[in-house]
Amino acid sequence: MPIRIGINPLTWTNDDLPELGGDTPLETCLAEAKQAGYEGMELGNKFPRNPAELQPVMKEFGDVGLEVVSGWYSCNLLERTIAQERAALEPHLNLLRAMGSKVLVLCETTGSVQGARGTPVTKRPKLNEQQWQRLVEGLDALGDHCYQRGARLAYHFHMGTVVQTAGEIDKLMERCGPQVSLLLDTGHATYAGANPVTLALKYGARIAHVHAKDVRRPVLDAALKRDSSFLDAVLDGVFTVPGDGCVDFPAVFAALKAHAYQGWVVVEAEQDPKKADPLTYATMGYRNLTKYAAAVGL
């Protein structure tokens, strides 16, 4: 298969909301991910950050273990110099390279309200022209650095950050060089009012990574109506696994197929594990993704 299917530990334990699955051991996340059928998992805050410690943990589950798919990096180019950001990024990049990951997930988080429960998403920062120029120059430099080290920088647009809307995604892709790739997140696109199918068709050649999460439309509509914070919307259940919401995943996969996408598709559907049993939803997400992929020959 051109694609590989992985999962994010957010299904079990949430980095931004420690009360969600905070007492769930990493071993449970990995064992249930393997049981559900996944080949790999992205990093989270419960993972060792030293390759010598992380490698045996990942190899423990199943005959061939689980691969490290990638891992999130919070970037602050609007506050740091390029040299400072490159130095801050280096340990994360080194860890991914040591674990065989070819993609680094990065998001500019300066001023972000994504982790501020109670702060509406509408209060997020927006960039002026000078800030856009600074961000683009920095991302191009980091993209070059990652490429020279054997990894693709996949920019993760995200609710509550400076790149959220379709227009902002367009501006980022138009102004950044080819060394900056795109992470297609179906859930964040839908939340922001963008069409993930349109994004997949428009930027398919530059998509280096895919986060597959579905959206419960009634919950989203209610969150938008009351001007909710991102975390409050998550707690209310705005996200779920593919096939359990309103995202047109058959069309998304058809668009990815049209651009001959090869890489990871990662289930990333943060929910309250007390309301949404992780193994049940992880299994549902895996089965639905394999069905969508098979239908288009991915």
Q: What is the mean pLDDT of residues 154-176?
A: 98
pLDDT in tens, 199-251: 999 999 999 999 999 999 999 999 999 999 999 999 999 999 999 999 999 99
- Crossing angle of helices 249-258 and 196-203, rounded to 10°: 0
**pLDDT at 62 (0 to 100):** 55
Q: Which of 21-30, 74-83, 265-274 has the highest mean pLDDT?
A: 74-83
CA-nearest of 216, 264, 224, 274 to 240 is 216
Give the pLDDT band (50/70/90) at residue 16.
Answer: confident
User: What is the DSSP pairing of strand 40-41 with strand 3-7?
Assistant: parallel
- In this prediction, what percent of the chain has a pLDDT beyond 70? 98
17-38 mean pLDDT: 92
Residue 2's pLDDT is what?
Answer: 83
Residue 18: per-residue pLDDT: 81
- C-alpha 77/C-alpha 147 separation (Å) is 18
pLDDT exceeds cutoff 80 at 138: yes
| Lookup: tokens for 123 | 């209060």
pLDDT(189) > 60: yes
How confident is the model at residue 60, as a pLDDT?
82
The pLDDT-based confidence of 64 (bands split at 50, 70, 90) is low
What mean pLDDT value characterizes the chain? Answer: 95
The whole-number pLDDT of residue 17 equals 86
Contact 69, 50 (CB under 8 A): no
User: pLDDT of 274-286, one tens digit each?
Assistant: 999 999 999 999 9
Please tell me the pTM assigned to this model.
0.96
The pLDDT value recorded for residue 118 is: 87
pLDDT attached to residue 268: 93
Contact between 267 and 292 (Cβ < 8 Å): no
DSSP the chain: --EEEEE-GGGT--SS-TTSSTT--HHHHHHHHHHHT-SEE---TTS-SSHHHHHHHHHTSSSS--EE---EEEE-TTTS-HHHHHHHHHHHHHHHHHTT--EEEEEE-TT--TT-TTSBGGG-----HHHHHHHHHHHHHHHHHHHHTT-EEEEE--TTSSS-SHHHHHHHHHHS-TTEEEEEEHHHHHHTT--HHHHHHHHGGGEEEEEE-EE-HHHHHHHHHTT-BHHHHHHTT-EE-TTSSS--HHHHHHHHHHTT--EEEEE-----TTTS-HHHHHHHHHHHHHHHHHHHT-
pLDDT band at residue 38 using 50, 70 and 90 as cut-offs: very high
- From the list 3, 15, 2, 1, the residue with the least C-alpha distance to 268 is 15
Please give the order of strands across the beta sheet that includes 103-108: 67-68, 40-41, 3-7, 263-267, 207-212, 180-185, 152-156, 103-108, 72-75
Does 20 have pLDDT greater than 90?
Answer: no
- Residue 67 has a CB neighbour count (10 Å cut-off) of 18
> What fold is seen in the domain 3-296?
TIM Barrel (3.20.20)
Task: Please tell me the distance from the alpha carbon of residue 245 to that of residue 137, in angstroms, as a whole number.
Answer: 37
Q: How confident is the model at residue 63, as a pLDDT?
A: 56
